[in-house]
Amino acid sequence: MKRTHTHVSTRLGLVHAVITGSGDPIVMWPSLLMDAALWDAQVDYFARNHLTIAVDPPGHGRSSRLEQRFTFEECAGCVVDILDQLEIRRTHFIGNSWGAMIGGTLAATFPERVETAVLMNGTASSAPTVQQMQYRMLLMVIRILGGIRPPLTKSVVRAFLGPTTVSTRPQVVRKVVDIARGNDPVSIINAVHSVVIDRPDQRDLFASITCPTLIVGGREDRTFPLPELQAMADAIPGSELVVIDGAAHLTAAEVPDEVNRLVETFLANRAATSN
């Protein structure tokens, strides 16, 4: 199926998006250090019946360089900018990690633009002190090395992928490492500060979310372990939580068939309920 590449002018610079298919729209926003390619399997699956819009988030992939830090509200505004340029009134939203946080912000602050939200491997909490310290050290090494270079790639794999994927899905490991290494160091430094070190606690904000919301996590996720995922689910009224075995922080790439079935069932059930 033909994929169309476009750049959208947003409040955080030019954002690259891959647009495929037609029908009820789905916007997909990936994790920090990842780009739209995280969603390749979801685009292939859902573009048969949906208009899929897979985003390279600000400073990642083919989007323009991030010259400064940002807020989650600005990221949610980027999604609105994309929807406005594409003349889309409402959309389903699927986000992973950073994308999950932004999906929650979007659903809470622009409820009229969101049909449903699938928030994967995310959090609604601020970063604990230990995590902040770890990522400050990571940024020091990125500055010294000039980007994600060995031995940092091992740290990326450990943060994003669990033992099951590392031992049985070498193609996923290669893909994650290749995408991470392709990132611009200035953009990564600004993004890591904004998404991790300066991350706000959004639990009170998420309490105002009214759209149907599915929370998905990998049981082997080291970055946002299950208690953190549960806290996000508890903050969102009526949300549904599903934990997937044998997957970690990038479930969409690790177990794509399972994720596709899960999301398809969720969307079908919501459509049946609304009718």
- Using DSSP bridges, classify how beta strands 114-120 and 213-218 pair: parallel, antiparallel or unpaired: parallel
Residue 189 neighbours by CB distance under 10 Å = 18
Amino acid letter, 196: V
pLDDT tens-digit readout, 116-131: 999 999 999 999 999 9
Instruction: Note the pLDDT of residue 273.
Output: 74
- What is the residue-averaged pLDDT of the chain? 96
Q: What average pLDDT does the segment 19-33 reach?
A: 98
Cα separation, 156 vs 33, whole angstroms: 9
Q: With a cut of 90, say whether residue 93 has pLDDT above it.
A: yes
Residue 52 neighbours by CB distance under 10 Å = 29
Q: What is the 3-state secondary structure (H, E, C) of 238-258?
A: CCEEEEECCCCCCHHHHCHHH
Amino acid letter, 257: D
Topology of domain 3-274, CATH: Rossmann fold (3.40.50)
Residue 153 neighbours by CB distance under 10 Å = 16
Rounded to whole angstroms, what are the CA distances from 196 to 65, 89, 112, 260?
18, 30, 28, 28
Cα separation, 97 vs 176, whole angstroms: 14
Using only the alpha carbons of the chain, give its radius of gyration.
17
- Using DSSP bridges, classify how beta strands 91-96 and 24-29 pair: parallel, antiparallel or unpaired: parallel
Q: With a cut of 70, say whether residue 183 has pLDDT above it.
A: yes
Q: Is 52 helix (H, G, I), strand (E, B) or coil?
A: strand
Q: Looking at 110-225, list the stretches that DSSP marks H as alpha helix, in order from N- to C-terminal side.
A: 129-145, 152-160, 163-168, 170-181, 185-192, 203-206
Residue 222 neighbours by CB distance under 10 Å = 13
Cα separation, 121 vs 229, whole angstroms: 7
Q: Predicted confidence band at 64 (pLDDT cuts at 50, 70, 90)? A: very high
Minimal CA–CA distance to 224: which of 126, 140, 102, 141? 126
Counting residues of the chain whose pLDDT is more than 90, the rounded percentage is 96
Q: Predicted confidence band at 275 (pLDDT cuts at 50, 70, 90)? A: low
Cα separation, 144 vs 274, whole angstroms: 53
Instruction: Note the pLDDT of residue 271.
Output: 76
pLDDT tens-digit readout, 151-175: 899 999 999 999 999 999 999 999 9
Tokens at 221, concatenated:
């996720």
Q: Are 191 and 32 in contact (CB under 8 A)?
A: yes
Residue length of the chain:
275
Tokens 């392709």 belong to residue: 182
Compute the CA torsion angle 6, 73, 183, 192 (nearest 10 deg): 180
Minimal CA–CA distance to 80: which of 100, 54, 107, 98? 107
